[in-house]
């Protein structure tokens, strides 16, 4: 891949890193942004009518690599990310083996560089083997490139372990990201405990199964001065905990997924016992979804993250109760978020894209200056009004498990650039 000198002309530049929303040009040379007019571009890309957003980041993906590479691997996950408009992802550590050693952290980042399609920020486990007992070596893991710590897929059940993890997070300056789920209230649960679950005879978990642990974690963050990030928040009581933490000035942040912002548990009726709707935490009732949308619009929840969780077709065709949890989310995220938050009038483009750019950068303590001379040319061109029908068969991800299948979305990434090189153009990922 050659790094040519390039001019992107007449784009609507939405740069949440600088708070800029303005039509203009971006000039790129040798992989970085340069001052307009200072080079002779070999090509000009006419971006009239398109939005240009720098460094779109998904801080919650599962690439199943190492260990389950037939489901997804760094290659297919990177292609899915580029296709979806992402230039940076944080991988979760619940692979096989679990990412709990510095060598695995370094290996993942290197695999990402070899593919060259998306920056991979490895997440490392909070506890050895994600077994919830003994803390990993945060200091050495961070030195090897880990940007945060999570046993995601499993909650940290022991309050004592979580307390120690949060104290450690403060020392190393990186967040602990907990999958908040009180197992004693939800061990059998496959959906939200609501009317659709009752009618279908499926075991559900209620609001407390999530919010009890979020409140616990928030109090531990307050007591330790630790850095807490709440993964895939989905119920109002959890949002109240986050507000409480913010009012006290504690270091607590949270993310919401596109599917929790888009769907309610009513979708269970539509899909019946097809496990494409099976996700953890489960899809929630309408009032919960609206509370989540308000929390995102008000800035209480400052990050949108997909929880991209691909599964093999044979697993997702198991009976509902046995099928694994998860949705392949990278290739529908931008369309879903624009449809439900932007075209609804709930958020401005600048505020919406902050959820995917400056939001995750702040949580992960990463520096990016926005589109200024010298900055790596990581950017995405978006057609905000492109209407399209989701067809999982066209995904680059190996996971086709998604309730967005057949949905009409409005807004789509049409080109993605990493370090000045197009990784996706017109829906085609470069090989």
Give the residue numbers of the binding site for substrate.
62-64, 94, 280, 311, 325-326
CB of 396 to Zn ion, least distance (A): 23
Residue 259 CB neighbours (<10 A): 23
CB of 153 to Zn ion, least distance (A): 6
Cα separation, 417 vs 420, whole angstroms: 6
Q: 87 vs 130, which CB is nearer to Zn ion?
A: 130
Cα separation, 307 vs 176, whole angstroms: 16
Q: 179 vs 316, which CB is nearer to Zn ion?
A: 179
Residue 81, class by beta-carbon neighbours within 10 Å (0-12 exposed, 13-18 middle, 19+ buried)? buried
Select which of 58, 307, 378, 383 is catalytic.
Answer: 307
Residue 383 CB neighbours (<10 A): 18
Clarify whether 265 is annotated catalytic.
no
Q: Which of 11, 14, 46 is nearest to 25 (CA)?
A: 11
Which residues sit opposite 382 in a β-bridge? Answer: 51, 413
List C-alpha distances in Å: 92 to 148, 153, 224, 341, 417.
Answer: 9, 9, 24, 26, 23
CB of 60 to Zn ion, least distance (A): 8
- Which residues would be at the binding site for Zn ion (CB under 5 A)? 152, 179
CB of 20 to Zn ion, least distance (A): 34
Cα separation, 358 vs 355, whole angstroms: 7
Q: Residue number with the shortest CB distance to Zn ion?
A: 179
Q: 380 vs 401, which CB is nearer to Zn ion?
A: 401
Q: 10 vs 315, which CB is nearer to Zn ion?
A: 315
Residue 172 CB neighbours (<10 A): 19
CB of 342 to Zn ion, least distance (A): 26
> Is-contact 293 361, C-beta < 8 A?
no
Provide the b/e sequence for 91-124 (b: ≥16 CB within 10 Å): bbbbbeebbbbbebbbbbbebbeebebbbbbbbb
Binding residues for Zn(2+): 60, 62, 152, 179, 232, 307
Q: 35 vs 96, which CB is nearer to Zn ion?
A: 96
Question: What single-letter DSSP state applies at residue 275?
Answer: G
CA atoms within 13 A on the CB side of 43: 9
Q: 333 vs 417, which CB is nearer to Zn ion?
A: 333
Provide the token pair at 118. Answer: 């998306």
CB of 323 to Zn ion, least distance (A): 16
Cα separation, 220 vs 192, whole angstroms: 27
Residues catalogued as catalytic: 307
């Amino acid at each position: 891949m050659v790094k040519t000198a390039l001019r992107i002309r007449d784009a609507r530049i939405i740069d949440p890193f600088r708070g800029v929303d303005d039509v203009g040009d971006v000039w790129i040379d040798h992989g970085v942004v340069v001052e307009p007019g200072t080079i002779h571009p070999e090509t000009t890309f006419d971006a009239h009518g398109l939005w240009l957003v720098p460094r779109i980041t998904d801080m919650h993906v599962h690439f199943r690599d190492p260990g389950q590479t037939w489901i997804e691997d760094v290659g297919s996950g990177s292609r899915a990310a580029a296709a979806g408009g992402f230039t940076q992802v944080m991988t979760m550590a619940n692979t096989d083996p679990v990412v709990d050693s510095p060598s695995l952290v370094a290996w993942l980042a290197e695999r990402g560089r070899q593919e060259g399609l998306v920056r991979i920020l490895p997440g490392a486990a909070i506890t050895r083997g994600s077994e919830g007992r003994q803390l990993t070596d945060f200091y050495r893991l961070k030195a090897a490139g880990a940007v945060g710590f999570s046993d995601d897929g499993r909650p940290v059940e022991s309050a004592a372990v979580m307390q120690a993890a949060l104290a450690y997070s403060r020392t190393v300056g990186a967040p602990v990201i907990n999958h908040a789920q009180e197992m004693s209230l939800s061990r059998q649960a496959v959906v939200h405990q609501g009317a659709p679950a009752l009618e279908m005879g499926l075991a559900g978990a209620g609001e407390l199964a999530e919010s009890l642990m979020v409140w616990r974690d928030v109090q531990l963050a307050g007591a330790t001065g630790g850095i807490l990030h709440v993964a895939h928040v989905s119920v109002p009581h959890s949002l109240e905990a986050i507000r409480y933490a913010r009012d006290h000035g504690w270091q607590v942040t949270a993310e919401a997924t596109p599917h929790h912002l888009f769907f309610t548990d009513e979708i269970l009726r539509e899909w019946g016992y097809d496990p494409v709707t099976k996700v953890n935490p489960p899809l929630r009732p309408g009032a919960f979804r609206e509370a989540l949308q308000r929390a995102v619009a008000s800035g209480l929840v400052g990050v949108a993250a997909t929880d991209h969780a691909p599964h093999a077709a044979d697993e997702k065709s198991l009976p509902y109760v046995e099928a694994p949890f998860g949705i392949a989310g990278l290739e529908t995220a931008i369309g879903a978020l624009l449809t439900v938050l932007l075209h609804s009038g709930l958020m401005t483009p600048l505020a919406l894209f902050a959820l995917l750019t400056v939001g995750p950068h702040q949580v992960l303590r990463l520096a990016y200056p926005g589109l200024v001379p010298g900055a790596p040319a990581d950017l995405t061109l978006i057609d905000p009004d492109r209407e399209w029908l989701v067809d999982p068969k066209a995904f680059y991800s190996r996971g086709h498990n998604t309730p967005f299948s057949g949905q009409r979305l409005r807004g789509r990434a049409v080109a993605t650039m990493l370090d000045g090189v197009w990784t996706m153009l017109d829906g085609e990922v470069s090989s």
